[in-house]
Chain A
Amino acid sequence: MAEWFQDNGLLLGLALLDGLSSAGLIFLVAVGLNLVFGVLRIINVAHGSLYAIGAYSAASIGIFLSGRGLPDWASIPTLILSAALVGAILGPIIERLLLRRIYAQEEVVQLLVTFALFMILEDVQKLLWGVQPIHHDTAMRWLGTIDVPFGADFIPFTNYQLFVLPGIAIVTLVGLAWFLRRTLTGRVIVAVTTDREAATAMGIDAAKVFLLTFTFGAMLAALGGALSSPTAALVPGIGAQTIVLSFAVVATAGLGQIEGAALTSLMMGLGRSIAVYFEPELEVVVPYIIMVLVLLVRPQGLFGVIETRRV
């Protein structure tokens, strides 16, 4: 064991660095899904579409503004603003026009409404952005790289992936935690998450909370997409790929738990990057293995609370 660490300790260190940045992205997408699920009790399959639209929009807006002389440093704020814009426009439209009609319906129906929306948005993306890969990487290039020592060698990492992605994820986590615990609106959201009936009985305007939460969740999905756009080429189908992993995160994290989502993303991000180093064929199934193991030990998810049924 000690010998193994001696041989592979350095690699493990690299895996850690890679795992952090991938965990950051996983978290940003999954936390929005989890927040929406906690409050609305709807697993939003179209969350992946919002991710994709966020990515495409951020790239398009970035390309448009760069062409008109936007300085390179402004590309990172542009990513964040694009995401906010996408969420602020699409969130309320989807919640008002679609989700509001089905809150009283069965879980499966709610799931399918978002599945239908996912199918529609998949084609909408294609109509708007075409099928050729789109990429706009000013943000990544402007930040440059940093050489991380690796024995006698060194490994260049992009500052964007090493610092910006985990950084924004941490800021989001801390900001969300502060918002949910310390602000009135945040506490209302938590109250609705923990006990919907009691909260509405206390006179909380559930409709407003739902609208707010969903919009917020949509912004987070779009933010995840926007932040992935500097490093990834955007093609049809990226939403479908991303959302599956987020499902696993939500179930593992526990209902509406943001800290749970953070820890789960970290485990999955690290698990995957370690797998790439030592057993690449396992990489794809690592998140599911983690999910199954966690749920075996904690059936309600990492940070989930057992819902006691009153009898």
Chain B
Amino acid sequence: MRKIEPFLALLLAAAMITAAVTAPWLRFVLTIALAKGIAVIGILLLLRAGQVSFGHALYIAFGAYTVAFLAPRYGDAVVLLLLAAVGAGLLGLVIGLFVTRYRQIFFGMLNLAMSMVFYSLLEKLYHYTKGSDGIRVEIMPIAGQTLDRVAYEWWIFGIAMGLAFVLGFLIRLYLSSPMGEALAGIKTRETRLEFMGVPARGVLLAAYVMSAMLGGIGGAIIAMTSRHVTPLLSYWTSSGELVFIAILGGAGGVLGPFLGAAAYELVRIYAAASFADAWQMILGAVLLLVILFAPGGLWGMAARVMKGRAQ
């Protein structure tokens, strides 16, 4: 399965590009899906260590608001992506130094608490953030090029896709490196790591900072795509949504988050269009069915299909 993952990734990318070419509104939806997929890789990293962050929407919102605040001043998508990643990483470092001391429920709930504090700040600091009205993000130049709207949207889609590949590739390397394998060791036998001379907390902190950066990048892309940011991005249900996507996609490979994000967005649109006042129920039911009858998520299903083929 691992070997064919790059092949599957190319297949998925091709499908996404085809969809984006044929339907402009899908281009928008898929850009959002790619952005969320990037953020969900961060959730995946922490899940490798057996930890569930129920507050990672914080970093998405941070990345998004970084773009919204700085776009008028440093209005270039490339610069802003970098700033969002670095800024989220620094925030992740500060918060991570605290939360990585905790495990399981404490870890999850402290992350939740941090995101809710951030959410409250976005509402409270009304004069800077415009509260729930949110901040508009104008079309910005990309790498110095001023673009019209359609070209801009294509570029952001392309950047999201490119980043998904590059980051997916890097994270894949990381996960099979000693550092990544030690991260998985935190889940099963954290004390042993200490007795091997490995600082488990440091390993987790590194992953946490990476996951924060991935969240920041995802959030920046979301802001550049939806071009309007609101505090809702950091509400606890948005964090739940990220974990939802991670499990829907399956925790097997780095492709999982993207499968999950694309499926999530499309199911939500389908549910919202067909049953506008019961879309939550549909999403919840889909999630339940996947957990109960397709453990391993979409990635697991794909793996089973592949195995069936191979035999």
Contacts and interface: CB of A to CB of B under 8 A. Distances in A.
Touching chains A and B, CB distance < 8 Å: yes
A270 interface: no
Interface in A114-172: 115-120, 122-124, 126-127
Name the prevailing secondary structure of the B interface residues: helix
Contacts of B243: 108, 111-112, 115
B105 interface: yes
Contact of B283 (A119, A250, A255): A119
A7 interface: no
Contacts of A37: 105
A284 B120 contact: yes
A43 B287 contact: no
A281 B117 CA distance: 12
B260 to A, nearest CB: 12
B277 A109 contact: no
Among A118, A240, A244, A248, the most chain B Cβ lie within 10 Å of the Cβ of: A244
A116 B292 CA distance: 12
A227 interface: no
Given A43-B105, A115-B240, A240-B237, A247 B280 contact: no
A116 B106 contact: no
B292 A288 contact: no
B287 A116 contact: yes
Interface string A18-41: 000000000000000000010000
A299 B191 contact: no
Interface size class of A (residues with CB under 8 A): 35 or more
B12 interface: no
A113 B105 contact: no
Interface residues of B, number: 43
A108 B247 contact: yes
Nearest to B287: A116
Nearest to A288: B113
Given A126-B277, A251-B110, A120 B285 contact: yes
Interface string B35-59: 0000000000001001010100000
A311 interface: yes
Interface in B95-128: 98, 101-102, 104-106, 108-110, 112-114, 116-117, 120-121, 124
A222 to B, nearest CB: 20
A43 B243 CA distance: 14
B280 A120 contact: yes
B278 A127 contact: yes
B284 A285 contact: no
Given A115-B240, A115-B287, A122-B280, A109 B109 contact: no
A85 B191 CA distance: 46
B287 A248 contact: no
Contacts of B280: 119-120, 122-123
B88 to A, nearest CB: 20
A301 B106 CA distance: 9
Contacts of A111: 52, 54, 108, 243
A209 interface: no
A116 B64 CA distance: 26
A299 B287 CA distance: 33
27 contacts: A106-B50, A107-B104, A108-B246, A109-B247, A115-B284, A116-B283, A116-B291, A119-B280, A119-B284, A119-B287, A122-B281, A123-B277, A123-B279, A127-B278, A240-B236, A244-B112, A247-B112, A251-B109, A255-B105, A281-B124, A285-B116, A288-B114, A292-B98, A295-B102, A296-B98, A301-B106, A311-B195
Interface of B: 47, 50, 52, 54, 98, 101-102, 104-106, 108-110, 112-114, 116-117, 120-121, 124, 191, 195, 236-237, 240, 243-244, 246-247, 277-281, 283-285, 287-288, 291-292, 295
